[in-house]
Amino acid sequence: MTDEFSVAHPCADCGISTSSTGNIFKVTDDLWQRVAVANRKVPAAYLCLNCVEIILERKLMPGDFSEDMVNFSYRFPRNALLIERMGARFEELRARYVESENALPIMWYWLSFADEEKGFLGVAIVRARSIDEAITRAWELGINPGGEVQSSKFEQAPEFEAYENQLLDKTQLEDAGLI
């Protein structure tokens, strides 16, 4: 099974990349209807925080954010303003999620990092219960180089054991016969 997350996700109003500026969030359905669907010929696919607040003529508040995973996953970087607007909402959603996650089996995660400027940044191999825990674990271990992540997970992966909790570059991956 593969999770993928990339591309620019441009704001429909100002055109900035919402994903590379830490502008990934979901508001409640009602609010999205108001800012992104009503009064538009074409509904917006993405809007940045700034443009949502311009349309609303007010700041976003914790209660405006939905329970969607993008609002509590470590997979999605948030800029300082978004973190401020979410307030305690992030911790609240995250705590609930972590509780439900504790019941999941531990799997091997292959995390491949890349960014637009530098390209491929390396692969981290960790064991975790979810993609989110895997990314958090990589941060804690200091083996998460940032950028965008693509992941694959495996129930059994004996070939990973010697490389657990390491960040591997292309040469190391080739030498290890992993790519």
**Residues within the interface to Zn ion (CB under 5 A):** 11, 13-14, 48, 51
Beta bridge partners of 3: 151
Sheet holding 107-115, edge to edge: 2-3, 148-154, 107-115, 119-128, 166-168
Nearest-angstrom CA–CA distance, 124 and 69: 22
Q: Smallest gap, in angstroms, from Cβ of residue 70 to Zn ion?
A: 17
Residue 165 C-beta: closest distance to Zn ion, Å = 39
Give the Cα separation of 29 and 1 in Å (integer).
Answer: 29
CB of 84 to Zn ion, least distance (A): 17
Residue 14 or 179 having the CB closest to Zn ion? 14
In the complex with Zn ion, the residue whose CB is nearer, 51 or 82, is 51
Angstrom distance (rounded) from CA 91 to CA 163: 32
Q: Say which amino acid occupies 61.
A: M
CA distance 35 to 49: 11
Task: Name the minimum Å distance from CB 132 to Zn ion.
Answer: 27
